[in-house]
Amino acid sequence: MPRVFYPLSLMSKCVALFVLVVGMASGCTTTSALQPVAATAPAVVTEKSASIVVDSSTGAVLYQASADLPRIPASLTKMMTLYLTFEALDSGRLTKTTIIPVSAHAASQAPSKLGFRPGQSIDVDTAIKAIVIKSANDVAVALAEALGGSEPQFAAMMTAKARQLGMKGTTFNNASGLPDPMQITTARDMALLGMALRKHFPQQYYYFALHDFTFNGKLVQGHNRVLAQLNGADGIKTGYVRASGFNIVTSVYDNGRQLVAVVMGGNTAKARDQQVVDLVHSYLPMAASR
C-alpha cells in the first residue's frame, strides 16, 4: 500500500527577508570564477534579458550578459521546488510512492496545471514528472504544502536553501513561479542551482531529460524543445510569464564537456531556444574535458 503523506502542522509565522541583487550589467567575459555578487537593497526590474554560460566541471564563466541583474524566474522557480523534493527523497521523508494530497489552494492555481480537484492526490514520482515536463503549478503547490506545511513556509525554506547554495540574488515567494512582485533571481543564481541539482542528486537527475509522461491514460508532452535540438542536452527547465519573457536553464554533457547555459527574457520561445543553442555551440568547445 502506498504511504500517505499529510502536510505538517503550520509552523510559526516567519518574517520573510526579501533580498534582491543590484549588479553591474556586464558584457561578454571568459573564464572568470562563478562568484555570486553581494546582496543589496531591493531594486526595480526594468529589463528582462540576461544570460550566462558556465563550465560545470570547473565553475568557470565562459560568457555572461547582465548575469547579476534582478530578473523574474517564472517557472525556473520549480527547480528549487524539485531540489527540496529530492532532498526529502534522499532523507527518506518521502518515497516515490508517497501520496501527496491536493488542497483547495493547490487546485486553484492558474495553468499550466494537471487540473486536480480539492481532495484528490498524486504520488511523488508522477508529481516530479508533472513539474518537470508539464510545469504543473497545482502539483508544485501540493508538494510545497506537504513539505512546508503551507506554501509561504515552503517559500521561506526555498529562500533559505538558496542562501546555502550561494544564491545571494534570489528570493522565492511561491513554489510555482506564478507572478509575484517579490520573487526575484539572477541568471548566475539559476546557473548555480542547475549545477547543484546535477551534483547533489545524480540518482534523480534523469527526470530533467524526460520528454513526456502518461497521466490518467493520456500522454503529456513537455515544453522543452531544446532537449531534441542539442546533442547531450539533459535538462533542465523552461519558464514563462508575461513579466519575465521566455526563460530557460539548459544543461549539456557531450564528449566529456559539461555546460549549464541560462537565457532569460526571450521575446518568444523559439528565439530563446535558438539563443541557448547558439551559446552552447559557441562555448562548449571551450569547456574543460573531463
Binding residue numbers: 237
CB neighbour class for 60 (10 Å; exposed up to 12, middle 13-18, buried from 19): middle
Binding residue numbers for substrate: 237
Give all domains of the chain, ordered by start, each with its CATH number.
Answer: 47-286 (3.40.710.10)
Model confidence at 48: pLDDT above 50: yes
How far from 266 is each of 78, 108, 243, CA to CA, in Å?
Answer: 19, 28, 11
Q: Where are the beta strands (DSSP E) in 126-271?
A: 212-215, 218-221, 233-241, 245-254, 257-266
Catalytic residue numbers, as ranges: 75, 78, 135
Q: What is the pTM of this model?
A: 0.85
Name which of 132, 158, 146 is nearest 224 in CA terms. Answer: 132
Model confidence at 30: pLDDT above 50: no
pLDDT of residue 289: 82
**Model confidence pLDDT, tens digit, residues 72-117:** 999 999 999 999 999 999 999 999 999 999 999 999 999 999 999 9
**Proportion of the chain in helix, strand, coil states, percent, rounded to 5:** 35, 20, 45
pLDDT of residue 47: 80
Under the banding of pLDDT at 50, 70 and 90, the label for residue 24 is: very low
Under the banding of pLDDT at 50, 70 and 90, the label for residue 5 is: low
Model confidence at 22: pLDDT above 50: no
